Structure 1
Amino acid sequence: MEQFDLVIRNGTVATAADIMQCDVGIRDGKVAMLGCDLGPGRTEIDAAGKLVLPGGVDAHCHLDQPMEEGLRMADDFRSGTVSAACGGTTTVIPFAAQAKGQSLRAAVDDYHRRAAGKAVIDYAFHMIVSDPTEQVLKHELPQLVREGYTSFKIYMTYDDLKLNDRQILELLAVARREGAMVMVHAENADCIGWLTEQLEQAGLTAPKYHASSRPMLVEREATHRAIALSELVDVPILIVHVSGKEAIEQIRWAHGQGLRIYAETCPQYLVLSADDLDQPGYHGAKCVCSPPPRDKANQQYVWDGLASGLFTVFSSDHAPFRYDDPEGKKPGGQEVPFRYIPNGTPGLETRLPLLFSEGVGRGRIDLNRFVALTATDPAKMYGLYPRKGTIAIGSDADIAIWDPHKQVTIRNDMLHHDVDYTPYEGMQVTGWPVITLSRGEIVCSDGQACGAVGRGQFLACGLPDPARPRKVVVD
Structure 2
Amino acid sequence: MDAEFDLVIRNAQVATASDTFLSDIGVKDGRIVQMGLSLGAGKREVDAQGRITTPGGIDAHCHLDQPIAPPARMTDDFESGTRSAACGGTTTIIPFAAQQKGQTLRAAVDDYHRRAEGRASIDYGFHLIVSDPTPDVMANELPQLIAEGYTSFKIYMTYDDMKLDDGQILRLLALARAHGAMAMIHAENSECIAWLTESLLDAGLTAPRYHAASRPMLVEREATHRAISLAELVNVPMLLVHVSARDAVEQIQWARSRGLKVLSETCPQYLFLTAEDLGMDDGYEGARCVCSPPPRDSDSQEAIWSALADGTFTVFSSDHAPFSFESPTGKKPGGEEVAFPYIPNGIPGIETRLPLLYSEGVMTGRISINRFVELTATNPAKTYGLHPRKGTIAIGSDADLVIWDEHPDDPVRLTNAMLHHAVDYTPYEGRSLDCWPAYTITGGEVVWDGRRYFGTPGRGRFLPRGLPTIVPAKPTGRAAR
Report the TM range for the smaller structure's normalisation.
over 0.9
- Alignment partners' CA distance in 2, 1:119 and 1:299: 33
Which of 293, 296, 311 matches 1:294?
A: 296
Aligned to 2:350: 348
Structure 2 residue identity aligned to 1:324: E
Alignment check: 8 A CA contact 1:86 1:447 kept: no
Shift of 1:448: 1.6
- Alignment partners' CA distance in 1, 2:291 and 2:97: 20
Structure 2 residue identity aligned to 1:75: D
Which of 327, 330, 338 matches 1:328?
A: 330
Aligned to 2:478: none
Is the aligned partner of 1:423 residue 2:427? yes
Shift of 1:189: 0.2
- SS of equivalent residue, structure 1 residue 109: helix
- Alignment partners' CA distance in 2, 1:440 and 1:56: 15
- Alignment partners' CA distance in 2, 1:105 and 1:220: 33
Q: Percent identity of the aligned residues?
A: 66
Aligned to 2:270: 269
Which of 434, 441, 444 matches 1:437?
A: 441
Which of 363, 367, 370 matches 2:369?
A: 367
Any gaps of 5 or more consecutive residues in structure 2?
473-481
Alignment check: 8 A CA contact 1:176 1:467 kept: no
Shift of 1:451: 1.1
Aligned to 2:147: 146
Structure 2 residue identity aligned to 1:129: V
Deviations 1:304-352 (A, max 9, x none): 0000000000000000001001111001111000010000000000000
- SS of equivalent residue, structure 1 residue 449: coil
Alignment check: 8 A CA contact 2:7 2:45 kept: yes
Aligned to 2:237: 236
Which of 316, 326, 340 matches 2:318?
A: 316
Aligned to 2:454: 450
Shift of 1:279: 5.3
Alignment check: 8 A CA contact 1:403 1:434 kept: yes
- Alignment partners' CA distance in 2, 1:244 and 1:60: 18
- SS of equivalent residue, structure 2 residue 434: strand
- Alignment partners' CA distance in 1, 2:453 and 2:123: 15
Structure 2 residue identity aligned to 1:21: L
- Alignment partners' CA distance in 2, 1:323 and 1:193: 25
Aligned to 1:473: none
- Alignment partners' CA distance in 1, 2:50 and 2:205: 53
Aligned to 1:105: 106
CA RMSD of aligned residues (A): 1.0
Aligned to 1:472: none
Deviations 1:276-318 (A, max 9, x none): 0015621100000000000112211000000000000000000
- Alignment partners' CA distance in 1, 2:104 and 2:430: 44
- SS of equivalent residue, structure 1 residue 127: strand
Shift of 1:467: 9.1
Aligned to 2:207: 206
- Alignment partners' CA distance in 2, 1:306 and 1:30: 30
- Alignment partners' CA distance in 2, 1:252 and 1:364: 19
Which of 374, 392, 399 matches 1:397?
A: 399
- Alignment partners' CA distance in 2, 1:44 and 1:184: 44
Alignment check: 8 A CA contact 2:379 2:471 kept: no
Is the aligned partner of 1:95 residue 2:108? no
Aligned to 1:284: 286
Alignment check: 8 A CA contact 1:179 1:467 kept: no
* Over 3 Å off, 4+ runs: none
Shift of 1:407: 2.2
Shift of 1:387: 0.3
- Alignment partners' CA distance in 2, 1:358 and 1:207: 28
Shift of 1:69: 2.0
Aligned to 1:175: 176
Using the TM superposition, name which of 458-467 and 31-40 deviates more.
Answer: 458-467
Change in Cα spacing, 1:348 to 1:447, as seen in structure 2 (3 Å) is farther
Structure 2 residue identity aligned to 1:376: T
Shift of 1:453: 1.1
- SS of equivalent residue, structure 1 residue 66: coil
Is the aligned partner of 1:385 residue 2:387? yes
Alignment check: 8 A CA contact 1:244 1:302 kept: yes
Alignment check: 8 A CA contact 1:181 1:467 kept: no
Change in Cα spacing, 1:113 to 1:467, as seen in structure 2 (3 Å) is farther
- SS of equivalent residue, structure 2 residue 411: strand
Aligned to 2:131: 130
- Alignment partners' CA distance in 1, 2:201 and 2:316: 34
Alignment check: 8 A CA contact 2:246 2:299 kept: no
- Alignment partners' CA distance in 2, 1:298 and 1:438: 35
- SS of equivalent residue, structure 2 residue 61: coil
Alignment check: 8 A CA contact 2:240 2:265 kept: yes
Any gaps of 5 or more consecutive residues in structure 1?
469-475
- Alignment partners' CA distance in 2, 1:61 and 1:106: 20
Shift of 1:18: 0.6
Deviations 1:44-98 (A, max 9, x none): 0011111111000000000000011211000000000000000000000000000
- Alignment partners' CA distance in 2, 1:279 and 1:53: 39
